[in-house]
Chains A and B, each alone.
Chain A
């Protein structure tokens, strides 16, 4: 048995020998590399949709923010609160205050149909009726262009996501809701949250347009501290005058993203897994043919005294190098093609569109490379075993 240093130098020289012969096997090597790149690109690409959607939802709620709905309602769409209810909610303990009173914003939530730019077909776009406090309960709210709507007027401001995804939401244009024209007077951002997919207008005007009387659907609040949540919740749930459900906004949005992220992740992993099996066959093919074209060389090395272990390890290493190359190519393609790609999808919980961008995160890239490595290991193992077990005498006779 040779010493470890000798063994390593054997592995090194056999591996080098294999890698240097790659240019002669360009066709089959690039087939394997592209195969693995394809798997990684699809895996990372599809999962980046789920990550992007999740991030948008997570960015929508702050830890010190809560939302109040009618009890039993799972989303704003199903909820309904009267003006008296919203007053009781504003008076509850635990809310942060500004010079304009407690930071509680009663809001109205409806949807309108607007054509999506990408498909040209109608989509449910959320239209939110808000009062002054809405701008203060959301820390990240900022007018990007134009101005806020004037209270009492049929004017709207649109989130930057909505403006990009749906047609006809540029400043100066008007949208038609029922029989009225509503001019767009500004665009706003909201720290990447779902509000950016919405259109906002004055609550009183929207109540009138929708014959809603003096009613709302939700109250968005800002708490004096994240820990004040329990106090706020207890005050309201024990108050016999109202029957409401109090949720942390972080929980509320996490709930809403679960179904979509689960769906995309399941499908994405399933597709990538099947592709990975295909890529393993591709890699096996390549490595088997790599071994078989080098039968004589390997036999010669063995005859010269190279160990079978060194041959095995070096074939595995070669396969791994190819796989990781494929993984890096695939991850790069996914990053360049998908990161930041903006789209909008239906959030069935709120029955309306959410705009978001695909996010290729570092974890996803690492995950892709891990998959590539596994494919390389499996694709290299069997050919490596065959190479190390070549009967030397018979192989040399092939000369």
Chain B
């Protein structure tokens, strides 16, 4: 640490060059942060929370329905704690562009299954008492300026009521918030009993199930057990962990992991080259001085350490600042205006970002550092 001053003055020697290098590293890490957010947004929030939850859908595809009677049969399977169903409602509010998810659920069961959905107790009570009641997530409530007590008409393109009308009216009785940052608060949830009674067709059928297993380590076995239960019926099922189900959606968009990795790779390669080049230039210019340092007794290891410390300091400083700025940008919310509702800065990106910046510092500094270490005092001094 006693050489900190020396390292710092070396960085200050050419302020312009140091700050340009710092800025290019900084930009690389802003990009790194933003890409982490994009990846997060596209692959949805997959948390360990869902490790005990499985999703059961019709085997042919998710648009094919399953009987409501499967609930009881699933709950009889040993190891299954709870089974709740949802159904895609496909509704819009006023304008087809105002898209958000709505689904009929059984309130008690649903809230039990999803502890990440926070609903005040009195609102829950109101929901249980109001047949046409619906609760809506904070984001959607804010978007449409809905308040508790509002009556909202939702036009469904899939479900018509027995009277032939496809505009459904719901009473907003509650507004829920998310326990975690990645909890989706855009959905509207309404009561299945109301839906079941009013709909014109497919009575007794629901979209898909979420089941909770008592012991997450047995999830694979129970998935198989569920699918066996319904084998050879007209409604065969496919069961998978919630995480895999959500990831499956992301993979439908494309190989996002590969695309972001390719872009991050291109960025890092580019910046590494720029920063590495500057570092080695800085060391080359100082050959004479390094010779002097060695002549007055600095060891090879100390010289190596000093050059590396310089490049790592620069890289980590740029990395930390860049990640900070990315975080600021991300806290401004979705840049595409609604297409990426899950756009936020994931915590683990901070750690991996800092690790990457350290790696960048080492990679950029290692070659000049080794050549500085190998420098022979006589040669170096002669070059002065």
Contacts and interface: CB of A to CB of B under 8 A. Distances in A.
| Band of interface residues on B | 35 or more
Interface string A169-205: 0000000011100000000000000000000000000
B293 to A, nearest CB: 24
A18 to B, nearest CB: 18
A51 to B, nearest CB: 16
Interface stretch (B27-35, B104-112, B183-191, B374-382): B27-35
A41 B90 CA distance: 39
Contacts of A124: 61-62, 252
B16 interface: yes
A262 B334 CA distance: 14
B339 A262 contact: yes
B336 A263 contact: yes
Contacts of A27: 277, 280-281
Interface of B is mostly: helix
B27 A275 contact: yes
A262 B336 contact: yes
B60 A177 contact: yes
29 contacts: A31-B278, A32-B274, A39-B270, A42-B266, A74-B157, A79-B157, A112-B60, A113-B60, A113-B61, A113-B62, A119-B251, A178-B234, A179-B236, A263-B339, A267-B336, A271-B31, A271-B263, A278-B28, A278-B31, A278-B271, A278-B274, A279-B274, A282-B20, A282-B270, A288-B16, A288-B17, A289-B281, A346-B253, A346-B254
A96 interface: no
A178 B234 CA distance: 7
B158 interface: yes
A37 B370 CA distance: 29
B158 A78 contact: yes
B311 interface: no
Contacts of A32: 274
B102 to A, nearest CB: 14
A31 B273 contact: yes
A38 B269 contact: yes
B24 interface: yes
B149 interface: no
Interface string B21-60: 1011001101100110010000000000000000000011
Given A72-B166, A178-B234, A345-B253, A38 B60 contact: no
B277 A274 contact: no
A110 B60 CA distance: 10
A116 interface: yes
A73 B23 contact: no
A227 interface: no
A194 B232 CA distance: 34
B120 interface: no
Interface of B: 16-17, 20-21, 23-24, 27-28, 30-31, 34-35, 38, 59-64, 90, 96, 155, 157-158, 166, 232, 234, 236, 238, 247-249, 251-255, 263, 266-267, 269-271, 273-274, 276-278, 280-281, 335-336, 339-340
Contacts of A113: 59-62, 238
Nearest to A382: B16
A77 B31 contact: no
Interface residues of A, number: 57
A38 B267 contact: yes
A278 B270 CA distance: 9
B63 A275 contact: no
B288 to A, nearest CB: 16
B274 A281 contact: yes
A78 B17 contact: no
Of B60, B90, B236, B281, most buried by chain A (CB within 10 Å of CB) is B60
Contacts of A345: 252-254
A28 B277 contact: yes
A366 interface: no
A281 to B, nearest CB: 4
Contacts of A116: 251-252
Contacts of A346: 249, 252-254
Interface string A79-98: 10000000000000000000
B17 A289 contact: yes
Contacts of B17: 285, 288-289
Contacts of A267: 38, 336
